[in-house]
Amino acid sequence: MGTVTEHVDVAVPIRTAYNQWTQFEEFPRFMEGVTEIRQTSDTDTHWKTEIAGVKREFDAKITEQLPDERVAWTSTGGVKQSGVITFHRLDETHTRVTAQMDFEPEGVAEQAGDKLGIIDRRVKGDMKRFKEFIESDRAGVETGAWRGEVDRPQP
């Protein structure tokens, strides 16, 4: 299983960064290879991706969501991945957004890509594009927000 951890500091308040991250259907605007995300319920999403000509669809479930702190998820079919995005207040107008993902590369090409650091670079690029997206086009204003909570599953 591979693991990627990346962070980016954004020049927006923590509430703005968090609110934007809850707008899953906007992810294709800054995530390379993500062609569509549909939120089918408060905790369920359906993803369509195309990476290096390989098209995939899978579902993911939000397993924990605490406003201005974290959003965690796990895939529920197909692609095997899970992760968490955390939000850290640096000051009134700056936030550190950290992404940590665990994934199971499928097939020889994905395993090689993982070993060569391609997935790390992709996540780093996605975080950089998120920074550009939240800071520039809309002058630091999120496109929406979902402030509900999802409690961590109990063992």
pTM above 0.75, yes or no: yes
pLDDT for residue 113: 64
φ and ψ at residue 24, rounded to 5 degrees:
-60, -35
Please check whether residue 36 is in contact with residue 48, taking contact to mean a CB–CB distance below 8 angstroms. yes
Q: What angle do CA 17, 79, 54 make, to 5 degrees?
A: 95
The tens digit of pLDDT for each residue in 119-134 reads 888 899 999 999 999 9
Enumerate the domain spans of the chain.
Answer: 2-21+59-137
pLDDT for residue 88: 98
CATH 3.30.530.20 corresponds to the domain 2-21+59-137: yes
pLDDT for residue 137: 56
Residues of the chain predicted below pLDDT 50: none
pLDDT for residue 109: 63
